[in-house]
Amino acid sequence: MAWPQTLIDACYFIAALLFILGLKRMSSPRTARGGIVWAGFGMLLAVLATLLLPDMHNRGLIIAAVVVGVTAAWWSGRRVAMTAMPQMVALYNGMGGGAAAAIGAAELVSHAQDLAALVMAPNTLPLMPESWSPLREAAAVTPLSPVALALGVLGALIGSVSFSGSLIAFAKLQGWLDRRFVFPGQQAVNLLVLAAAVVTGVVLATGHITIALVCAFFVLALLFGVLMTLPIGGADMPVVISLYNAFTGLAVAFEGFVLQNEAMIIAGMVVGAAGTLLTQLMAKAMNRSIGNVLFGNFGAAAGGAAQAISGSQKPIEAADAAVMMAYAERVVIVPGYGMAVAQAQHKVWEFAQLLIARGVKVKFAIHPVAGRMPGHMNVLLAEAGVPYDLIVDMEDINPEFPVTDVALVIGANDVVNPVAKTDPSSPIYGMPILDVADAKQVIVVKRGKGTGFAGIENALFYADNARMLYGDGQAAAGQLVTQLKTLDG
């Protein structure tokens, strides 16, 4: 029995409200978990309403696909390590863009003139039974309006770029590809591929649709996504992930117009708007413009000779570092990707709890692009049970570093490098950083003397007030815990 269209529209409206309210709740770590649940119920309601549409076909296949997808997502979501969460986010985001592109591909193929001529011509396919109608139905579809056709092509282009680009981002984060791939004239080649994809898309949008043209369009769009992502280094992944998130949302919204599905339109626009805003925030945190993110070879080094760094790295033992922080009044802990790799967040929080028990005022300082995805450090600290009121953003914590007795940097590198303020020739010059160097004493937990993803030396490590605690993040944090317990004992 078909449900009334009014009831289905009401379900879409409620689903849209749940999407928006869920996204709003995700803006705070305190309510983020509930926001995810709200948005999830909204998506469930939208899917159920869509299945109840009177003109819906192949419900069995759709339900089977949903079951397979949910099962795979549930299994992989529970098994994935927290350190692998960025690449999982990139992969799932790419799947959304790919789904939008697939919708566009299906619509374009169904309107291809050569397919229509092949299927509808008598005696062309004598082996095809008369009762087998999917191809004949596709060839006899109602033509799309010019606006719907243009939006469908645009959504397919954006979705394809998001899909292939996200897969490359996944491969980089997973360690399957080197950090960056560059070659002479790369930007010119990228622009030529994009221009060819756009021209092909314009031809398709005018109604001149053939199977060969559709295939060429998608090959060019997918190729551009690959070429666009290859030169990007791992340190820029937060910008890339948020950018492709915005692309996926826009692609879904455009394909929603084609299918006349209100839930897709609203959800896609919300995700697209949120992703665009997040991309702007991430780009600002990296001191880059949106145009530079889209078309520049960001991740490349700046020209000119870098300023020489004087001094030397001065090691410190865990026992001395523990004593220094045990008798401090204020300690700020700065986590970075190294903490994620070492899975040291639980030991770091245990150490912080011991300091708090001694009366030390402890805070965690978060740089917007620390880690490999937006909010990466917040997720890790929340997993370890760190209270939200101890986690402070860069703008709020920077004024407190001059009155901080000890800053403990664990796994962070470029986001605390003072050359971002002092060396115009540095590739990170102008990037907002955590002013860790202003603290009275700095202890840096680091596995060795290597550079960060920007490939430059960190002047902080050579500063007079900095000491290096070499070793794996989890092992070093464990040593600090042991030494602090010894003092308490």
In this structure, is residue 302 part of a structural domain?
no
Q: pTM score, two decimals? A: 0.78
Q: Could you tell me the pLDDT band of residue 282, with boundaries at 50, 70 and 90?
A: confident
> Do the Cβ atoms of 15 and 42 come closer than 8 Å?
yes
Nearest to 455 by CA among 142, 163, 233, 132: 233
In this structure, is residue 283 part of a structural domain?
yes
Average pLDDT, the chain: 84
Measure the CA–CA gap between 244 and 248, rounded to whole angstroms: 6
Which pLDDT does position 103 carry in this prediction?
92
Task: State CA 76 to chain mean position distance.
Answer: 18
Are residues 290 and 339 both part of a single domain? no
Of 23, 52, 79, the residue that ends a domain is 79
Measure the CA–CA gap between 286 and 280, rounded to whole angstroms: 10
Q: What is the residue whose two structure tokens read 């897709």?
A: 264
Distances (CA, A) of 201 to 26, 96, 105, 207: 36, 21, 12, 10
Are residues 142 and 290 both part of a single domain? yes
Active-site residue 414, yes or no? yes
Measure the CA–CA gap between 116 and 170, rounded to whole angstroms: 38
Determine the structural domain holding residue 200 and report its residue range: 82-295
**How many domains, the chain?**
3
In this structure, is residue 278 part of a structural domain?
yes
Are residues 288 and 359 both part of a single domain? no
Report pLDDT digits (tens) over 400-430. 999 999 999 998 888 898 988 887 877 778 8
Measure the CA–CA gap between 388 and 363, rounded to whole angstroms: 10
Which pLDDT does position 2 carry in this prediction?
55
Which pLDDT does position 199 carry in this prediction?
96
In this structure, is residue 154 part of a structural domain?
yes
Q: Could you tell me the pLDDT band of residue 347, with boundaries at 50, 70 and 90?
A: very high
Of 15, 46, 79, the residue that ends a domain is 79
Least confident of 69-73, 82-86, 333-337, 393-397: 82-86
* Distant-in-sequence, close-in-space partners of 95: CB < 8 Å, separation ≥ 6: 163
Backbone angles phi, psi at 474, to 5 degrees: -70, -40
Are residues 68 and 87 both part of a single domain? no
Are residues 56 and 127 both part of a single domain? no
Q: Percent of the chain beyond pLDDT 90?
A: 39
Which pLDDT does position 457 carry in this prediction?
80
The residue from 9, 320, 414, 438 that is catalytic is: 414
Of 79, 114, 138, the residue that ends a domain is 79
In this structure, is residue 310 part of a structural domain?
no
Are residues 112 and 189 both part of a single domain? yes
Please, how many CA atoms are within 13 Å of residue 325, restricted to the half-sphere of its CB? 33
Q: Could you tell me the pLDDT band of residue 195, with boundaries at 50, 70 and 90?
A: very high
Give mean pLDDT, residues 228-253: 84
Which pLDDT does position 8 carry in this prediction?
85
Burial 436-466 (b: 16+ CB within 10 A, else e): bbbbebbbbbbeeeeebbbebbbbbbebebb
Distances (CA, A) of 448 to 287, 315, 458: 28, 11, 12
Which pLDDT does position 120 carry in this prediction?
53
* Tokens matching residue 275: 């992703």
pLDDT at 359 over 50: yes
In this structure, is residue 183 part of a structural domain?
yes
Which pLDDT does position 310 carry in this prediction?
66
Report pLDDT digits (tens) over 42-54. 999 988 888 888 7
> Phi/psi class of residue 81: alpha, beta or left (left: φ > 0; alpha: ψ in -120 to 50)?
beta
* Tokens matching residue 3: 């449900």
